[in-house]
Amino acid sequence: MNVADSAAIGEHLRSRGGVATDLAQQADLVIVNTCSVRGQAEHKALSYLGRLALIKVKQPAMKVVFAGCMAERVKESIKKRFPFINLVVGARDIEYFPQLLDKFLGDMLDDRSVLSAATPQLTSFINIMRGCENHCSYCIVPTVRGPEKSRAVDDILADIRRMAAAGTKEVTLLGQNVNSYTSAGRGKTIIDFSDLLQMVNGIDGIDRIRFMTNHPKDFNDKLIETMSSCAKVCDHIHLPLQSGSDTILAAMNRKYTAGDYLTLANKLKHAIPRLAITTDIMVGFPGETDADFAATLRIIEHTDFDFLYAFKYSPRPGTPAAAGEDSVIRSKKEERLAILLEQADSIAARKNAKLIGTHQEVLVEEVTANGIAGGRTRANKKIFFAGESNLRGTLVSITVTGSKAYSLEGSFTSCV
């Protein structure tokens, strides 16, 4: 979601005559767009501000904007710690960022449109809603992003049509919980997420549709049917589990059981046989026992995840979980994380090896100077093969010839 926000901010700045640079030392303006989901993300942001402080001494005219979720959480104190910050824009105001930025910058930018100078984005992210009302006990998102607010369906479709006209072939619909999207369409008809998927599926120029993140409690049969019937919706779903223990899931306030999750995963696999399921797993949540962790390992093995994002629990200020004791010691968290990742690597390697000899549809995203093309399958697996530069942006059929845990190798068969 931060990538999508940053892309929108960058597009606005280019429309005002701005030119992007990868070097802060060359910048007139630096925007630090932050995350608060984990403590490590905030530490990285603070470390970057420390490096900017040194640059600011040498370039006092450089302006610094601090934005996003961390900015929302610490906006009262961050300028005291880093007085060189010129503007703070919290996550709740991020949709108004262009207007706030224009007011702040004044005549610093002109109105020369240089959008044509930007590299066309084959894959684009688009926020369809903001905020969250699930209130998982460990999560800071409802605090920093506020309650759920779905964007108007006509605005979303207009943005995607514009993306398609600019060269986007694959779009990813984003929300803290896309399953709960709802908006009033023409005639005040209520549009849910399944309806939105069908509308995006009909947009010319878009070849592929992805979406994230999904909450298991809100994933209904209508959405499963829509996924299986819409040709452009990819064979991949990101479905956060967090834990395989009912005790821990209840403490997390996730509102489903391990059995509920398994039933849903089996439904999805039955409806979409080639579906890849990825997930999030947290280890070391307060109160997690060895038995709880063992339950998580069992459900991972049973579900056969194609990939999982695993991380150690870290208390987030103001959340219910942080009010209690962080009872699992650090060494135990690290031990469990290592076991989890070893199991995940083994499953991923085994599943990818089974793909050798199959034909996969691939959207070619890049071709290097030495003729190595790369893209992703419909199941969101990265694959590399020998290819010409003119293949970029095309859908091709690739025969899988080799595999690693998290990537594939192949040979070009034909254009789709």
- The upper half-sphere exposure of residue 230, i.e. CA atoms within 13 Å in the direction of its Cβ, equals 27
Question: How do 276-283 and 307-312 pair as beta strands?
Answer: parallel
SS3 46: helix
Nearest to 124 by CA among 21, 199, 208: 208
Is 370 in the same domain as 335? no
336, part of any domain:
yes
Q: Are 374 and 350 in contact (CB under 8 A)?
A: no
Is 10 in the same domain as 110? yes
239, part of any domain:
no
Question: CA 185, CA 190: separation in Å to the nearest integer?
Answer: 6
Question: CA 1, CA 415: separation in Å to the nearest integer?
Answer: 32
Hey, what are 61's tokens?
Answer: 């005219």
CATH number at residue 205: 3.30.750.210
Is 9 in the same domain as 94? yes
Structural domain boundaries, residue 102? 2-115
Is 130 in the same domain as 219? yes
Question: CA 213, CA 44: separation in Å to the nearest integer?
Answer: 23
pLDDT of the chain along its 416 residues, tens only? 888 889 889 888 888 888 899 899 999 999 999 999 888 999 999 999 999 999 999 999 999 999 999 999 999 899 999 999 999 999 999 888 889 988 998 877 665 444 444 566 899 999 999 999 999 999 999 999 999 999 999 999 999 999 999 999 999 999 999 999 999 777 678 999 999 999 999 999 999 999 999 999 999 999 999 999 999 999 999 999 999 999 999 999 999 999 999 999 999 999 999 999 999 999 999 999 999 999 999 999 999 999 999 999 999 999 999 999 899 999 999 999 999 999 999 999 999 999 999 999 999 999 999 999 999 999 999 999 999 999 999 999 999 999 999 999 999 999 98
Question: CA 126, CA 123: separation in Å to the nearest integer?
Answer: 10
Amino acid identity for residue 53 in this structure: A
Is 8 in the same domain as 109? yes
271, part of any domain:
yes
Q: DSSP letters of 265-307? A: HHHHHHHSTT-EEEEEEEE--TT--HHHHHHHHHHHHHHT-SE
Helix intervals (H) in 26-152: 39-58, 69-74, 78-81, 97-105, 141-145
Longest CA pairwise span in the chain (Å): 62
Amino acid identity for residue 353 in this structure: A
Instruction: Say what the pLDDT of residue 110 is.
Output: 61
Q: DSSP letters of 6-29? A: HHHHHHHHHHTT----S-GGG-SE
Is 318 in the same domain as 391? no
Question: CA 292, CA 24: separation in Å to the nearest integer?
Answer: 46
CATH number at residue 298: 3.30.750.200
Q: Are 374 and 349 in contact (CB under 8 A)?
A: no
Is 165 in the same domain as 182? yes
Q: DSSP letters of 215-227? A: -GGG--HHHHHHH
Hey, what are 374's tokens?
Answer: 């790369």
SS3 75: coil
End residue of a domain, out of 338, 353, 368: 353
Q: What is the pTM of this model?
A: 0.91
Question: CA 195, CA 177: separation in Å to the nearest integer?
Answer: 16
Q: Which residues pair with 176 in a beta bridge?
A: none
Nearest to 248 by CA among 214, 213, 299, 212: 299
Report how many domains make up the chain.
4
Is 107 in the same domain as 154? no
